[in-house]
Chain A
Amino acid sequence: MPHLLPDVLPPLTLANALAALVIVSLTLYVLFGGADFGGGVWDWLASGPRRRQQRTLITDAIGPIWEANHVWLILVVVLLFTGFPRAYAAVSVVLHIPLTLMLVGIVLRGSAFTFRTYDTRRASAGRRWGRPFAMASVVTPVLLGMCVGAIASGEVGRPVTGRSFADAYLWSWLSPFTVACGLLSLSVFAYLAALYLWVEAKGPGLRADFRQRAAWSAAAVFATGATALATAWYDAPKIIAGLVSSRWAIALHVATGACALTAIWTLWRGRPARLGRIAGAAQVVGMLFGWYASMYPYVIPDTLTIEASAAPDVTLRLVLGACAVGTVVLLPSLWYLLRIFKGAGSAFERLEKATGEYEAVRTSIAELP
């Protein structure tokens, strides 16, 4: 297949390159920031004899990294308004209400989590701040998914002038399809969080808890995904057409399905958890890229293409340059952060081990006659 590549990959224009960066940032936001919201969902649903340990694990897992993970979303927004100002303006006019509600959720989630961590009256703080943290973690992903669904359905592209308030600012983002998208994104975030926590949990009991949660949320992802597809026949026909438009798209879906099956297989077997985590994350990436591919070359289906909404070349070139320079700073820093707090054999784990050995020696010394 000598001419496979030119067929399947979009031409490398400045606008497409920047769009690719937006896509990558959004994907990373889902993989990292999304999982932090998923952690909040599991905090809300914590149950069983290990309820308290579940919550502690979630807090420790999110604590050092959630703010950094959150910045992927900010990056998506600034790249959008710099590189694709017309699309950004259209989206923020029509989706004013869900975006505002989502922001309230983002503010409440972050603040409540921080207050819970730093309130010195820990015992009452856990209860007082746990609830808003968990509720906001549930509501925000649903609203994010609804906004994405509204963009995918093409409703955002219709001009608002001459329409009633409800028609322009409510029904544009409230439909069976967008609700299904909201629930799908909630399930995906919870699924990712459960998989990551499955890997990070210490002890067989806690590990089993999150393995079970990952399995349940995998089922939820399938159910909500199927609902989203079914409602899309009516609400977002272009997406359906885009999903099956090319051999490339079909191959992508097959790969996504293979990843999903791998994740489920590891969950069913109970190991290896790390493979399950990678497969689950790859499945989510596959789903997201399936959506992007079905949108291409549009930012807002039927209305605005990537090229048509892009800023002048000079801006695109500079922003791409800035991203290149920024990435040189960003990637090593991120790698350092994740190595410290998430890496296997990280400095922390070595320290924990050393402390354990030290304690053992001390105890044995103390027990000497």
Chain B
Amino acid sequence: MAMSLAFHIVFAVIGIAMPVLMILAERRWLRTGDPVALELAKRWAKGTAVLFAVGAVSGTVLSFELGLLWPGFMEWAGPIIGMPFSLEGFAFFTEAIFLGIYLYGWDRISRRAHLWSGVAVAVSGAVSGIFVVIANAWMNAPTGFRVVDGQAVDIDPLAAMATPAAFSQTLHMTLAAYAATGLAAAGVHAWFLLRGKDRTFHTVALRIALMVGIPAALVQPVSGHLSAQFVARHQPAKLAAMEAHWETQPHAPLRIGGWPDEARETTRWSIELPGMLSFLAFDRTDAVVTGLRDIPRDERPPVAVTHVAFQVMVALGTMMAAVSVWALVTVLRRRELVRERWLLRALVVMTPAGFIAVEAGWVTTEVGRQPWIIHGVMKTADAVTPMPGLAVPFALFTALYVLLAIVTTIILGRQMLVVPKTPTTTRPVPTPPATLPVAAD
């Protein structure tokens, strides 16, 4: 499951944001008639097609695996939290339908209808992502039921969807999708610009990719702060693990880096900023932050993994925001992007950053919730299937996904490499003969 999710999340993230790039390029073409923008829209559409297909089938695996691996969880939680999954089903349906129309309908429907199909893909993609994250948010802050003798009673699926974790988590994840994909696309096109390939094409591509990536990367730290404040109030064990914070105290320091030693209950080699953790979590430097020592050992998440993953996510997010500021300033000063070679190099380096940050953030929230599958209600160990030998399907899906990842990369690489020197329009414009033959009728 973890493997499937780790694989799927990258495709889901691209599937949410890539259609936005694609329709921005198409809109540019419709506005300016620039054939380069049309070529770009088509190229991105092909990339979206490949990634969406692999994302769709890996998502199918997930919807089955919820039951295959966690029948206990689904039997218990299905009635409470199935609702967003059902809604996601419809949103995903809409996305698949309009993507089919978009990809195969270039010459079959009007230009306006085509652009709006692209918009439908982008919107339904974002909506289906939000529904899935709501379900995950509920696992962090379960609401909408009461537990009586181990059974859920007074179930209210709407209250479950309105879990307090939903807002900060969906915002954070959706922004992550746009930031990661936008900056990754920018990085790819920056690389081609550095290599001196097809300057006009890649400059247009870079500008559109930055239009999506920069705003998202700049707002992301704020939404991250909101998420962390939520965690501080509802999941103190997770916050303590994220920060590798052992001692319950006011004026709690913010730790940067370091390695938590779970046996000795200390964190070594970290830079400590006094009072900053209290301030960031509760807006006051004298606020008391619960430490791991006050949490029973069997309810502590794995501290090292959570802490390191969290640090990686924050570090990459900060770097992405910094590069975004740099790029924004460059664009606002009307500098020619292709001449700013150091900025292009920085963008190339940042290409995988967003996806690594997404993976790290996902590890933080999932591992940080352990040992619970539903925070405070059900432990992961109680939800797993009774079938023995689960290592076999794990190895099988891992091998399958590694294979798919390699092939997808190769195919996308080939797609990028066949950029024509002079982009052509789809349909040769007929040039009327110099003298129209009157006798034709």
Residues of A within 8 A of B (CB): 63-65, 67-68, 70-71, 73-75, 77-79, 81-83, 85-86, 88-93, 96, 99-100, 103-104, 106-111, 113-115, 117-121, 160-161, 165, 169, 311-312, 314-315, 318-319, 322-323, 325-326, 329-330, 333-334, 336-337, 340-341, 346-348, 351, 358, 361-362, 364-365, 368
Tell me whether A82 and B82 are in contact (CB under 8 A). yes
Once A and B bind, how many residue pairs between them come within 8 Å at the CB atom? Answer: 233
Tell me whether B104 and A333 are in contact (CB under 8 A). no
Chain A contacts for B415, CB-based, 8 A: 118, 120
Tell me if B92 counts as interface (CB < 8 A to partner A). yes
- Residue from B107, B396, B417 within 8 A of A104 (CB atoms): B396
Tell me whether B396 and A333 are in contact (CB under 8 A). no
Tell me whether B396 and A81 are in contact (CB under 8 A). no
Tell me whether B100 and A64 are in contact (CB under 8 A). yes
Tell me whether A77 and B63 are in contact (CB under 8 A). yes
Q: How far is the CA of A113 from the CA of B75 in the complex (A)?
A: 35
- Known pairs A67-B100, A82-B78; A323 contacts B64 (CB<8 A): no
Tell me whether A74 and B60 are in contact (CB under 8 A). yes
Tell me whether B100 and A93 are in contact (CB under 8 A). no
- Residue from A110, A117, A319, A336 within 8 A of B56 (CB atoms): A110
Q: How far is the CB of A84 from chain B (nearest CB, A)?
A: 8
Which residue of the partner chain B has the closest CB to A362? B430
Chain A contacts for B105, CB-based, 8 A: 64, 340-341
Q: How far is the CB of A29 from chain B (nearest CB, A)?
A: 12
Given known contacts A88-B74, A120-B411, A347-B108, what 19 new A-B pairs fall within 8 Å (CB)?
A64-B100, A70-B60, A71-B96, A75-B86, A75-B90, A81-B78, A81-B82, A88-B78, A92-B67, A110-B56, A111-B54, A111-B404, A115-B411, A120-B415, A315-B82, A341-B105, A347-B109, A348-B108, A361-B440
Chain B contacts for A109, CB-based, 8 A: 57
Q: How far is the CB of A8 from chain B (nearest CB, A)?
A: 29
Q: How far is the CA of A70 from the CA of B58 in the complex (A)?
A: 12
- Known pairs A78-B63, A111-B53; A311 contacts B90 (CB<8 A): no
Which residue of the partner chain B has the closest CB to A110? B57
Tell me whether B104 and A77 are in contact (CB under 8 A). no
Contact with A along B96-125 (1 / 0, CB 8 A): 111111011101110000000000100000
Tell me whether B414 and A78 are in contact (CB under 8 A). no
Interface residues of B in 377-393 (CB under 8 A from A): 385-389, 393
Residues of B within 8 A of A (CB): 46, 49-50, 52-54, 56-61, 63-68, 71-72, 74-80, 82-83, 85-90, 92-94, 96-101, 103-105, 107-109, 120, 155-158, 385-389, 393, 396-397, 400, 404, 407-408, 411, 414-415, 417-418, 430, 433, 437, 439-440
Which residue of the partner chain B has the closest CB to A348? B108
Tell me whether A75 and B93 are in contact (CB under 8 A). yes
Tell me whether B50 and A74 are in contact (CB under 8 A). no
Chain A contacts for B92, CB-based, 8 A: 71, 74
Chain A contacts for B58, CB-based, 8 A: 107
Main secondary structure of the interface of A (DSSP, over half): helix
Q: How far is the CA of A161 from the CA of B386 in the complex (A)?
A: 8
Which residue of the partner chain B has the closest CB to A366? B433
Tell me whether B158 and A318 are in contact (CB under 8 A). yes
Chain B contacts for A337, CB-based, 8 A: 97-98, 100-101
Chain A contacts for B404, CB-based, 8 A: 107, 111
Which residue of the partner chain B has the closest CB to A160? B386
Tell me whether A311 and B93 are in contact (CB under 8 A). no
Tell me whether B90 and A103 are in contact (CB under 8 A). no
Chain A contacts for B430, CB-based, 8 A: 358, 362
Chain B contacts for A73, CB-based, 8 A: 60
Tell me whether A118 and B46 are in contact (CB under 8 A). yes
Interface centre among B50, B396, B411 (most CB of A within 10 A): B411
Q: How far is the CA of A160 from the CA of B72 in the complex (A)?
A: 14
Chain A contacts for B107, CB-based, 8 A: 348, 351
Q: How far is the CA of A78 from the CA of B62 in the complex (A)?
A: 11
